Structure 1
Amino acid sequence: MRHYEIVFIVHPDQSEQVTGMIDRYRQLVERDGGNIHRCEDWGRRQLAYPIAKIHKAHYVLLNIEVEQHTLAELESGFRFNDAVLRSLTIRRNRAETGNSKIYEEALREQQKKLEREQRQKMELESRRKELEQAHASKSKAETAVKAADAEESEPSKPAAEASSEATADQEPDSAGGSESAVVEDPAEKAAEESLEEPAGAAEPGQADDSVPEDADDPEKTEKERPAEGSAPDEAATDEAETETD
């Protein structure tokens, strides 16, 4: 058996079939007692030159140890497979088992990609937690505000009820007061009483007050009497003088 290194390029639209193709080639090599010392999937890479207007393709590397007829059958499968754009077979002196430089670079890229995805995932998780915490704190604040508003509104409710009750109590009182004012108005009552009393009637106190004060003074009465009696004498004298003339 001889050692060979094979590189074949798969159409980018058939990248999903690469795993199945590798499994078939592995079975073909191992069927006649051959060995696969190295199998590397390099993924999609830029082509050195366009092939059928294609700029990228899927690369696969195989280091095998097989008989000549097995190699011929393998190369025939490459030629008649439309998914394989190109293939290259190189004879090697010994088995190559270590990773190639291209594969190591691909592994580093994959590792970076995984780390980037994990970092993004962690950032998203931290943002989600921050949003949840902010939402929780906001909910607590709203609950506290509602509780404070409820506590403030509770004392005001009894006060409002008391004021409404006082207003309701005052309304009947005011109505009753107005009725009593209408019934017990002193002016109206006096007018009614004056209408009921006979005209010209005077109270006993008023009759005593109408007596002249001079009646109680005898000296003043005696002095005023001659004056009253002289008045007729003067009148008679005037009449006599008139007749004489």
Structure 2
Amino acid sequence: MAEPIVINAETREITVPEAERAFGVAGERKVEVKHIRIEGRTVDGTDLTQGFSWKVSCENAGKELCADLIDGIVADAGNIEFDWIVGAAPMAYKGTMHFAVCAVRVDAAGNILQEWHSKLGAGDVANGIEATVQNIGGQDLLAHIQSITAAAQQNAAAAQRDAAAAAKSAEDAANSAGAAAKSAKDADNTAKGIKDSMERIAENTKAVSQLKKDKLDNPANPVVGQILRVKSIDETGKIVLETAAGDVEVQFSNGTVQFNIAKSK
């Protein structure tokens, strides 16, 4: 176990063992742990364990004031002990860093009622190639900004690619919709044309049927000699025509034509 830094509660004298003077390298944070033991817990009748909050106040090698809060203490009949986890601010610069232990008791409104301080102790902070220039609250702002910028650029590029893909998909969908609409229109026109043709065929068939009925099968005002239909043709070449006046036989013989009027039946 590391040798403790010892403080006399009455005299406030602080003793830093030679082995504990090294605090690490500039730029480190919350790695080095120093164990502190306060010999004596009562000073002129004031018990430092009753209602006091503890911190280690520092002046780093850059002459900047800072402090690390102490989470809790352990006390026995004669001593107070705690661990100090050295933060970033005391380690901000290479060189000699000074520190002191402070205990404060306040009322409900935060007004300071009592305050106790040790004398100064000192520690050495070694040089480092990534030393923090100043206390920036535990954040590397430059690295943070660079990270955010890189992420934003990646997100913007991805969004641009997604937008281009969406626009292409929309264009393809519009083209497909246009082609489908044209096909539907063409199909509709074809169906309409077929329907119109069928209707005309039906009308023509009906008209032809009516014409045959009116003109051949049952003329309203038949004219004598009007041929109604070819009634028969036999193997000799004789043709019988049905007329309004009766049947007419047409006989082809030796290049001549014979007409014989037969009675209508």
TM superposition score normalised by structure 1: 0.42
Kindly name which structure, 1 or 2, has the bigger radius of gyration based on alpha carbons.
1
Choose between structure 1 and 2: higher helix proportion.
1
TM superposition score normalised by structure 2: 0.39
Choose between structure 1 and 2: higher strand proportion.
2
The structure with higher relative contact order (CA 8 Å, sep 6+) is 1
